[in-house]
Amino acid sequence: MADTEPFQLRIRRLIDGKTKPPGSLGKLEELAAQIAAAQDSTAPVMDRAALIIFIADHGIAEAGVSAYPQAVTTQMAQNFLDGGAAATAFARSLDIPVTLVDAGMRETPAHPLLLDRRIACGTDNFAEGPAMSMRQCETAMDHGRTLGRETECDALCLGEMGIGNSSSATMLAHKLLGLPLAGLTGPGAGLDAGGVDRKRETLVRAAARTFGKLGAIDALAEYGGFEIAMLAGAMLGAAESRRIVLIDGFIATAAAVTALQLDPGCRSRLVFSHLSAEPGHALILKALRAEPLLQLGLRLGEGTGALLAWPLLRAAAAILTGMASFEQAGVSGKLT
């Protein structure tokens, strides 16, 4: 007789039947069930992770919304290529391959390991007009979708770099979710209180250019960054390929909002890795009803939080593939 038990109930029964009190592994049990469903397997594989870092410049940086000069985007790109950034150091310690993508820097380091998906020399200043054309936005998303679909891994970690991109993420959360700019606007890479106030004033003026909430593609074109559009595309491409996607912090979560509005079904593949110290991140996660795995006070981006969450995915999969059941281990179950 064919097994007609719903897959989710079967997974739950298998997890509960392992040698532990039911629910005693907390969120890891939920994560195990999510991974199993994503792969449609009772013995999910979590052997390989990969990291893609998208890098681009932002015209809004001209408005003084960042504590660092725009040249830092290119300088950090070189640091990634040299292996000296936090994300590359973490990835190396975890034996995770890194793909670095030029999504649209003003100046691009010449390096054989830098993947050229350059849309333009940075976006335009969205305080004055749209950040990019609709064609540029769609091209950026297509590049990301292809990379997300074709990168060989079981779980895809996604990171970003771009001076000014916390302003783009703030605007996307505001225009897509209707969250208030007052609570969303934070220090980014290190603004002081006065700098945050000036940043907020700039974003309020930019928000007034368009009326009310926007659709996903319109919001990206008006206020996004090339690297954020590629992040959203990569999430969609990886989800289509039944891969788990580890969402990093504030910037990546804003990209996830875009991806979810375009394809709500990709939610089952997304794992929110950590709660950023950037104040707007908690607001977005709450709006998405998403519970992050870690809370470490991170606010760097680059995919660092996603990388740190990867071992938890491996552990969660091991609940189903490595733990014995009560029957297999000869351990008595709970008294009834």
Instruction: Tell me how far apart the alpha carbons of residues 237 and 215 are, in angstroms, rounded to a whole number.
Output: 20
- Residue 217: CB atoms within 10 A of its CB come to 18
What string of H, E and C letters represents the secondary structure of 104-115? ECCCCCCCCCEE
Gap between the Cα atoms of 205 and 128, Å rounded: 9
Residues 288/280, Cβ–Cβ less than 8 Å: no
Reported residue count of the chain is: 336
Tell me the C-alpha distance between 140 and 125, whole Å. 18
Give the count of alpha carbons within 13 A of 135, CB side only: 1
Told to judge if 62 belongs to the known catalytic residues of this protein, a careful annotator would answer no
Q: How far apart are CA 248 and CA 308, in angstroms?
A: 10
Annotated catalytic residue, options 29, 160, 278, 302: 302
Q: What is the spatial order of strands in the sheet that 244-247 belongs to?
A: 114-116, 98-104, 49-56, 155-161, 244-247, 270-272
Helix/strand number for the chain, H first, E second: 14, 6
**Pick from 42, 11, 44, 34: which is nearest to 154 by CA?**
44
How crowded is residue 19: how many other Cβ atoms within 10 Å of its Cβ? 14
332 φ, ψ (degrees, to nearest 5): -70, 140
3-class DSSP state of 231: helix
* Cβ atoms 249, 299 nearer than 8 A: yes
Taking the C-alpha atoms of residue 274 and residue 294, their distance in angstroms, rounded to an integer, is 4
Task: Write out the catalytic residue numbers.
Answer: 302
